[in-house]
């Protein structure tokens, strides 16, 4: 009887531990995609600010409630705007953000090529 009870307890707690590990892993994945509004150059996973800590707790609570990553991301975007995403979505109003580096590099290559051509 003791062995059966011990086995049941071990199975129950091991499932709960694995569920917490999976939840924590999923929360960390989401945290790495969200920008810290205070630090701006870091994800909330890397930041030590109070707001980042609160956002990490919020994400974990929403995962515990059963919300998906997309629902959590949409909630944060509706509250803080697209700026909160470390990788903004490709939309019409973000084309410049995504393609400006390419155009700047091409312009630089032609500029350098033109300077060497004159010499």
CATH number for position 31: 1.10.8.640
One domain, residues 70 and 104: no
One domain, residues 96 and 84: no
Checking 96-102 for CB contacts under 8 A at 24+ apart, the result is none
Q: What is the mean pLDDT of residues 35-62?
A: 89
One domain, residues 84 and 46: yes
Structural domain that includes position 117: 91-119
- List pLDDT tens digits, range 53-110: 999 999 999 999 999 999 999 999 999 888 888 887 777 877 887 788 999 999 999 9
One domain, residues 18 and 47: yes
- The structural domain count of the chain equals 2
Helix (H, G, I), strand (E, B) or coil at 34: strand
């Amino acid at each position: 009887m003791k062995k059966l009870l011990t086995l049941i307890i071990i199975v129950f707690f091991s499932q709960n531990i694995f569920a917490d590990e999976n939840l924590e892993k999923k929360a960390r994945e989401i945290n790495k995609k969200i920008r810290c509004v205070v630090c701006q150059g870091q994800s909330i996973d890397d930041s030590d600010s109070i707001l980042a800590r609160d956002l990490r707790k919020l994400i974990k609570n929403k995962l515990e409630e059963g919300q998906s990553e997309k629902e959590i991301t949409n909630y944060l975007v509706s509250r803080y705007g697209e700026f909160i995403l470390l990788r903004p979505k490709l939309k019409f109003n973000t084309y410049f953000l995504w393609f400006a580096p390419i155009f700047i590099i091409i312009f630089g290559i032609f500029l350098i090529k033109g300077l060497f051509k004159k010499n």
